[in-house]
């Protein structure tokens, strides 16, 4: 909060093992929210794919459930480098140009896999920030549709599952869900607005729009 205390805007990145984040310093994170701090919390080695030699107590697969309890924190679970870059870029814009009183929690990984380039689709930029977009759409016109929703570490397993499912005759779409929390909040906001404005046209949550495509 140096921007408010000293008039010196800074962009802090606090990097830690995601398993030892909210479980160990949750009170401090809540205090940061109360003090209207800005910046990025990066939970490393998330997804229960690393540190398994030390047991499940050192593997994080639930920190986003805890993150959702912080009202002014936005949490994301990106699978690819371009998703992370877009989220950070927009976070800097919102916190330091728009002066929004928010901060971010991002889970990141140390698995060794190739990072694809940003697809040339303007809708993807919106989807990354709102919580989800279609990463791979089947070209086939035959078979029942299977939608695989994945984020972070499990994206690679979803892409491997495509080959198996297509061999069985299914049409498979893969969705990168960058933030289940933001999708849930948007749906809750729409539900509340619709209840308070019964005579107005109902708003549709983004997740409903996403899967109606």
Residue 59 domain boundaries: 2-115
Domain of residue 8, CATH code: 3.40.50.970
The candidate with the shortest Cα–Cα distance to 172, out of 152, 153, 156, 149, is: 149
Number of domains in the chain: 1
pLDDT average, residue stretch 151-168: 93
Average pLDDT over every residue of 175-181 = 97
pLDDT of residue 56: 67
Q: What is the rounded average pLDDT of the residues 157-176?
A: 95
Q: pLDDT by residue (tens digit) across 92-148?
A: 999 999 999 999 999 998 888 899 999 888 889 999 999 999 999 998 888 899 999
In a domain, 212, yes or no: no
Q: Is 95 inside any structural domain?
A: yes
Cα distance between residue 113 and residue 110, in whole Å: 9
pTM of the model: 0.92
pLDDT category of residue 53 using cuts at 50, 70 and 90:
low
Per the domain annotation, does 171 fall within a domain?
no
β-strands 171-176, 133-136 pairing: antiparallel
Residue 189 lies in a domain: no
Evaluate whether residue 77 is within a structural domain: yes
Chain segment 179-203, per-residue pLDDT in tens: 999 999 999 999 999 999 999 999 9
- Across all residues in the chain, what is the average pLDDT? 91
Residue 94: its pLDDT value, please?
A: 97
The alpha carbon torsion through 93, 96, 101, 102 (nearest 10 deg) reads 50
Distance CA 200, CA 172 (A): 37
């Amino acid at each position: 909060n140096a921007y408010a205390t000293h008039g010196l805007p800074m962009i802090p990145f606090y990097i830690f093992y995601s398993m030892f984040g909210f479980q160990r310093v949750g009170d401090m994170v809540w205090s940061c929210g109360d003090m209207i701090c800005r910046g990025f919390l990066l939970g490393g080695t998330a997804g229960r794919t690393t540190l398994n030699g030390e047991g499940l107590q050192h593997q994080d697969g639930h920190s986003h459930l805890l993150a959702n309890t912080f009202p002014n924190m936005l949490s994301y679970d990106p699978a690819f480098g371009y998703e992370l870059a877009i989220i950070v870029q927009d976070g800097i814009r919102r916190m330091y140009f728009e002066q929004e009183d928010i901060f971010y929690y991002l889970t990141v990984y140390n698995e060794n896999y190739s990072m694809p380039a940003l697809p040339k689709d303007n809708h993807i930029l919106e989807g990354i920030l709102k919580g989800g977009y279609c990463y791979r759409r089947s070209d086939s016109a035959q078979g029942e549709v299977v939608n695989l929703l994945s984020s972070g570490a499990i994206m690679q397993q979803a892409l491997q599952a495509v080959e198996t499912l297509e061999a069985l005759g299914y049409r498979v779409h893969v969705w990168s869900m960058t933030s289940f929390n933001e999708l849930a909040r948007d749906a809750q906001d729409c539900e509340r607005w619709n209840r308070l404005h019964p005579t107005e046209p109902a708003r549709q949550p983004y997740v409903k729009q996403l899967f109606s495509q």
